[in-house]
């Protein structure tokens, strides 16, 4: 009976570690800027640009229009970059899920080594296979 306790402790520790790592991955994948705040910033940008556009002089305003267009482009780009960086597993700044892919590869290898005649219990998307 004493032989099973260290193995059980190792299993519990490994499960706790896996659970903690999963929590960390979920936290990293979750956007930290709520959509409401992003839309508020976008609407604020639109109102500000519109108000500045209305306040421009009617004549000899080429410099002011160029400045307004440049500032609008910079602020819009900044908002897009913030939104993209806040969602690391999609978009232009894309972080590949290499750790989970490696864990999946190891789990598949271990299963096929221990159960060579059995099929995997799920498909590539993690859905249970019929059977």
For the ranges 11-15, 64-68, 89-93, 119-123, the lowest mean pLDDT is seen at 89-93
Mean pLDDT across the stretch 5-17? 71
What is residue 1's predicted lDDT score, i.e. its pLDDT? 45
Find the Cα–Cα–Cα–Cα dihedral 33, 37, 43, 45, rounded to 10°.
-60
pLDDT band at 5 (very low <50, low <70, confident <90, very high): low
The DSSP secondary-structure symbol of 98 reads: H
Quick one: which of 23, 40, 21, 52 has its CA closest to 83?
Answer: 40
pLDDT band at 91 (very low <50, low <70, confident <90, very high): low
For the ranges 57-61, 72-76, 83-87, 90-94, the lowest mean pLDDT is seen at 90-94
pLDDT in tens, 102-115: 777 887 888 788 87
């Amino acid at each position: 009976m004493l032989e099973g306790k260290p193995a059980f402790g190792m299993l519990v520790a490994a499960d706790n570690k896996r659970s903690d790592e999963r929590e960390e991955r979920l936290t990293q994948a979750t956007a930290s800027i709520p959509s409401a705040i992003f839309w508020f910033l976008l609407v604020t940008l639109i109102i500000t640009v519109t108000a500045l556009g209305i306040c421009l002089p009617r004549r000899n305003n080429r410099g002011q229009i160029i400045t307004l267009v440049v500032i609008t482009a910079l602020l819009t780009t900044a908002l897009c970059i913030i939104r993209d960086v806040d969602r690391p597993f999609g978009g232009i700044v894309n972080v590949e899920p290499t750790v989970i892919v490696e864990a999946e590869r190891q789990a598949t290898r271990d299963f096929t080594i221990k159960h060579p005649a059995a099929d995997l219990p799920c498909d590539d998307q993690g859905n249970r296979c019929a059977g």
